[in-house]
Chain A
Amino acid sequence: MFAIFQYPFIQNAFIAGSIVATVAAVLGYFLIVRGLSFAGHALSSIGFAGAAGAILLGVSPVYGLMVFTVTASIAISILGREVRERDVATGVIMTFALGLGILFLSLYHGYAEQAYSILFGTIVGVSRDDVVFTFVLGLILLIMIAIIGRPLLFSSFDAELAETRGVPVRALGSIFLILIALTISITTQVVGILLVFALLIGPPATAIRLVHQPLRAIALAIILGLTYTWLGILLGGNSPWPVSFFITALSFGVYLPVRLFSKGIDSKRSAKGLEKLSITDSVLESQKDRND
């Protein structure tokens, strides 16, 4: 069973998958807490259109991914101010981009395989260069989220209070969406759009049902994400079925019983969890210090 680790391409898949799972778990936690699963899905679909455009122009798909997802994330933050309006605005931008993606694909002949590898990912086709690239950009993303993490969390749980305390709520939201866009861009090359979404949503969704304290939830999400990825590669490497299927099935298989047997968090309980951590207080204090 473990004999597959002799192959360098499995080793690369393993390392790249671990980096992606870690970055996705951390950013995914904020995505879930802010109720932005749809934006995560939309940005990955938009990335597909961008990659198709880049293939048509003959440049590396990662440039198309970055241009499309970052532009779209800015457009989503401008158009979607209201929560209900946000989903629709996100969806319209996604559909518009996908329409362009279809046009690009129809202009580019002999597309099927490349389109599929972007959509569904080929984690076993990762090169050593891809691994280094993913590692460096993943590290940058983690540093960025560590910097804006605290105020971002504060504004996610109580936007009004955060705003009155001088936290730049809207700017933080936009920066966060751009970070998500970049995460999707760098990881799509490696694992495909489908898997990026699964790793962004799955582990944190399970983690916040089990643990309420933000840091512990993030840690649990990372552990879950790594476990799914490793098991998925192990199972996929030993069977004819694709790795992404195993990872999504594992993530759903763990989530379902947790969802059914945990009472679930409502806003009150998560607020209590925040109080326990006294994150609210410490953020308030740090803001006060800054004001003084």
Chain B
Amino acid sequence: MIDILRHSFVQNAFLAGMIVAIISGFVGYFVVLRGQAFACEALSHIGFAGALGAALVGASSLEGMFIFTLLAAVGMGALGKRLSGRDIEVGMVLSFVLGLGVLFLSIYTKNATGAVGVLFGSILSVTINDVQVILGSGVFIIILMAVLYRPLLFASIEPEVAEARGVPVQRLSILFLILLALSVSVAVKVVGVLLVFALLVVPAAAAEHLTHRPWLAITLSILISLTSTIAGLIFAFIGHWPASFYIVSLTSWFYFIALIIHAVRSPRRYRELPHPSREVLPPSV
């Protein structure tokens, strides 16, 4: 087992996976808090079209993903003010971008395996160059998130009050979407477009079920995504199945266990108590 670590591609995989896990654990907390799971999912698919488009013009897939997701983040942020109304906008952008992806794929038929790599993740093909880009964007994201932490938390939990206090809610929202776009682009490298959700949303959602304290939840969410990524990679090197499958299963199991703990801990009569950030809406589903 230790022998494997000597190979440079294995070291790169672990490094990239760990950096991405830390970023997504942190950013993911706010994705869950702000209810932007769907936006996150859409951004990852937009990254798919970006990566294929980049292949068409001969650029690297990370560059294509950065450009496409950033444009989409600004667009989504500008289109809708309130999240609840953005559902349709996000869906429309998503379906259009998937169509673009199909177009690029049909033009660029040479590299079908490349497309599969973008869809399902190709952590074992991460180069030292990619690790540097991922590390650079990771440091950038974490520093900016730390700077924005307080106003963003305020704006996420009580947007109206924050706005009244002079917090630039709309601008913060666009800025956060841009950071999310960056995080999605680097996460695609590790788990692929279809499974970005597993690192960006699932650990944070599990953590949110275990505690309401923001810092504790963020720490837990980072721990869950780190554990899942490292364990998933180890399993992938020992076993025969793809790394993204192990990572996704592990984070999902963390979520289901957190769900059970949450259900056991809170007696039924307390369940309807509104969390400050949570509007309790009628059970429409």
Contacts and interface: CB of A to CB of B under 8 A. Distances in A.
Interface of A: 32, 34-41, 45, 76-77, 79-88, 90-92, 94-96, 98-103, 105-107, 112, 115-116, 120, 155-156, 159-160, 163, 169-170, 173-174, 177, 194, 197-198, 201-202, 205, 240-242, 244-249, 251-252, 255, 259, 264
Contacts of A84: 35, 277-279
A107 B96 CA distance: 31
A139 B37 CA distance: 34
Contact of B248 (A76, A96, A241, A251): A96
Contacts of A240: 106
Nearest to B194: A98
B142 interface: no
A40 B105 CA distance: 24
29 contacts: A34-B285, A35-B87, A36-B87, A38-B38, A77-B285, A80-B285, A82-B281, A86-B285, A88-B32, A91-B38, A95-B248, A96-B252, A98-B248, A99-B195, A100-B245, A102-B242, A102-B248, A106-B245, A116-B112, A155-B284, A159-B282, A173-B283, A173-B284, A174-B285, A197-B94, A241-B103, A244-B99, A245-B99, A251-B95
A269 to B, nearest CB: 13
A73 B278 CA distance: 23
A82 B278 contact: yes
Interface SS, B side: helix
Contacts, number: 192
Contact of B242 (A92, A95, A103, A116): A103
A87 B249 CA distance: 19
A160 B282 contact: yes
Nearest to A37: B91
A92 B37 CA distance: 10
Given A81-B285, A83-B279, A38 B99 contact: no
Contacts of A105: 120
Nearest to B91: A37
B181 to A, nearest CB: 17
